[in-house]
A = this chain, B = another copy of it.
Amino acid sequence: MGRPRKALLDRRRIGRTALELVDETGDFTVPEVARRLGVQTASVYHHVDGRAGVIELLREQVVDELDAGTLDERPWDVALEAWARSYRAAFAAHPRSISMLMTSPVRAPRVIDQYERVAGLLLDAGFAPEAVMPIITGLDNIVLGSALDMSAPEVMWVVGGEAEAPRLAAAQAATGPARADQAFDLTLAGFLDHCRGLLVRDRTAAATDGREAGGPRS
């Protein structure tokens, strides 16, 4: 808010440049980002808090491609499914960033804001507070594992001859197109079904607690 407009633009350019480098080479260094922007390395450090800061700007670039409007849908499972599909598409465009982003802590405000909305969605639906982070983490892992898989070859297992692996060869021959999409649909459906089951349990527990505390809440 108080920052000059130019600084904001520069931060966006830094994130975009780091993302380009990761898309092309699988990694980035701050001096490489500076060189590509035609500035001194020290100028980049003037705008961001070290390499970790650049990673967060890069993260915002990817997450900006996500449709956060999906989180306004209701009920919760429709919203979560639509968000997961948009999330997968955004990361599938930048597969080489996935490993880096999964293993460094999220600090980027625009990304924290999306997770705040997901946490609110699950809490409002009636999930127990302790169930929320395992659900968010599980969904993250499914989405990012599957986004990585979208960069995999359509035939992932190369069987030399039928004699080598006849049953794997038969299963691959019987597989329809878009193996990666089929696998994601299957996994996401199973995950959401399981969460719906957990929600019944959590709502029942909450209702029982309410009665024990002196009758059901209004």
Contact = CB atoms under 8 A, between A and B. Distances in A.
Interface string A171-183: 1111110011011
Given A179-B134, A194-B186, A153 B123 contact: no
A27 interface: yes
How many subunits of this chain does the assembly comprise?
2
A46 interface: no
A38 B128 CA distance: 58
Contact of A141 (B130, B133, B142, B175): B142
B137 A167 contact: no
A106 interface: yes
A141 B144 CA distance: 8
B99 A174 contact: no
Given A116-B167, A145-B141, A190-B191, A174 B132 contact: yes
A195 B189 CA distance: 10
A79 interface: no
B179 A133 contact: yes
A113 B26 CA distance: 31
B152 A102 contact: yes
A129 B179 contact: no
B145 A146 contact: yes
A183 B112 contact: no
A97 to B, nearest CB: 10
A117 to B, nearest CB: 8
Interface in A153-172: 153, 155-160, 164-168, 170-172
A122 B149 CA distance: 21
A139 to B, nearest CB: 8
Contacts of A132: 171, 174-175
A89 to B, nearest CB: 15
Contacts of A166: 116
A199 interface: no
